[in-house]
Amino acid sequence: MTSVLKISDLHVSVGETPILNGVNMEIRQGEVHALMGPNGSGKSTLAYALAGHPNYNVTAGSIEIDGVNVTAMEADERARLGMFLAFQYPVVIPGVKVADFLRHAVSNVRNPERKEGEGLIGMREFRKEIRERMTELGMDHEFARRYLNDGFSGGEKKRMEILQLAMLQPRFAILDETDSGLDSDAVRVVSEGLAKLAGPLMGVLIITHHKRLLEFNPPQFTHVMLGGRIVEIGDAALAHDLHANGYATVRARHPEAENTKAEAAAVAS
Ligand SMILES: Nc1ncnc2c1ncn2[C@@H]1O[C@H](COP(=O)(O)OP(=O)(O)O)[C@@H](O)[C@H]1O
Ligand SMILES: [Mg+2]
């Protein structure tokens, strides 16, 4: 069975401020979707709401995985159902090595009933697996012995993200790649890594303006967000057009989209 992530009429507020005003989207395993839109249109808000970040309140609508409503679930429960959000700014966890972190994350996802301190995937099995994945991705095995995110360069943070994807094999991967702060090494790591990993079992939502990322991972669907709503859906050609020409024409086609947001903000204040 092909898994489906279904977002229906999703309204999300941060504090009292409505940010998303009815988002609809359906992502199947094996599909690559791009989400584009000008700064402040609500793309990251959607990513956080999907992942179950506690600061993002769903006020209406739903998020379902294979018909199971996950809207009220905690982030880790969603992760166990196959949802993965790559973090833009991963935290530094003092004294935790990449391999230890991944061993816990993999154990949580594969063994949902496990309690802290038990049910960890066996060390030998895990080591073998992580080495294989790192070899496939062309990564230096030393990387697994580094302390998590401690002094990581942009490219290394992205290696971490891709290695996490490879180990967790989520059904739905959401990659929110901000344009600022990604150097060309980092863009290459994500572009090539994702192209290797995204297969028939992974549904991918890429949030980006990076041409290269989408060239390596051509989206079957491009969604354009404006004022907290998806205003247009197209294919890879739409992504190309937005890269080349920006959002002026999209804005002109949907003059109402950003007003709604201003009105909503005015009502809230
Ligand atoms: N944690 C937050 N606190 C307050 N406002 C927020 C927060 N997150 C997002 N917003 C607001 O929501 C709107 C959409 O932001 P965001 O989802 O980050 O857009 P994008 O990722 O498309 O640039 C912006 O107006 C932003 O200021
Ligand atoms: Mg963003």
Q: How far is the CA of 233 from the centre of ligand 1 (A)?
A: 22
CA trace torsion 245, 43, 148, 123 (10° rounding): -110
All structural domains of the chain: 4-268 (3.40.50.300)
Ligand 1 atom closest to the CA of 45, numbered from 1: 17
Nearest CA to ligand 1 atom 5: 14
Q: What is the pLDDT of residue 119?
A: 84
11-37 exposure pattern, b = at least 16 Cβ within 10 A, e = fewer: bbbeeeebbbbebebebebbbbbbbbb
Distance 252 CA to ligand 2 centre (A): 22
What is the pLDDT at residue 183?
A: 85
What is the best residue among 11, 12, 45 to mutate for testing ligand 1's pocket, by most ligand atoms within 8 Å of CB?
45
Which residue of 14, 53, 207 sits with most ligand 1 atoms within 8 Å of its CB, as the best mutation to test the pocket?
A: 14
pLDDT of residue 3: 95
Cα angle vertex 187, ends 184, 189, to 5°?
Answer: 110
Report the DSSP pairing between strands 203-207 and 32-36: parallel
Residue nearest to atom 12 of ligand 1 (CA): 19
Which atom of ligand 1 sits closest to the CA of residue 207?
21
What is the atom index within ligand 1 of the atom nearest the CA of 19? 12
pLDDT of residue 180: 66
Nearest-CA residue for atom 13 of ligand 1: 40
Tokens for 18, please give them: 């409505």
pLDDT at 118: 82
Helix (H, G, I), strand (E, B) or coil at 50: helix
Q: How far is the CA of 49 from the centre of ligand 2 (A)?
A: 12
**Contact (CB, 8 A) for 217 and 191:** yes
Instruction: Please name which ligand lies nearest the alpha carbon of 23.
Output: 1
From 13, 19, 46, mutation site for ligand 1 pocket: most ligand atoms within 8 A of C-beta? 19
Question: One digit per residue, pLDDT tens: the chain, 269 residues?
Answer: 899 999 999 999 999 999 999 999 999 999 999 999 999 999 999 999 998 888 999 999 999 999 999 999 988 888 888 888 876 445 666 788 999 989 988 998 888 788 877 889 999 999 999 999 999 999 999 999 998 878 888 888 889 889 999 999 999 999 998 766 788 888 898 899 999 999 899 999 999 888 888 999 999 999 999 999 999 999 999 999 998 999 999 999 999 888 755 555 555 55
The rounded distance, in Å, linking the Cα atoms of 233 and 97 is 41
List pocket residues of ligand 1, CB cut-off 6 Å: 14, 19, 37, 39-45, 55
Rounded to the nearest angstrom, the distance between the alpha carbon of 207 and the centre of ligand 2 is: 8
Residue whose CA lies nearest to ligand 1 atom number 3 = 14
- What are the DSSP calls for 197-222, one per residue? H--TT-EEEEE---HHHHHHS--SEE
Output the residue whose Cα is nearest ligand 1's atom 26: 40
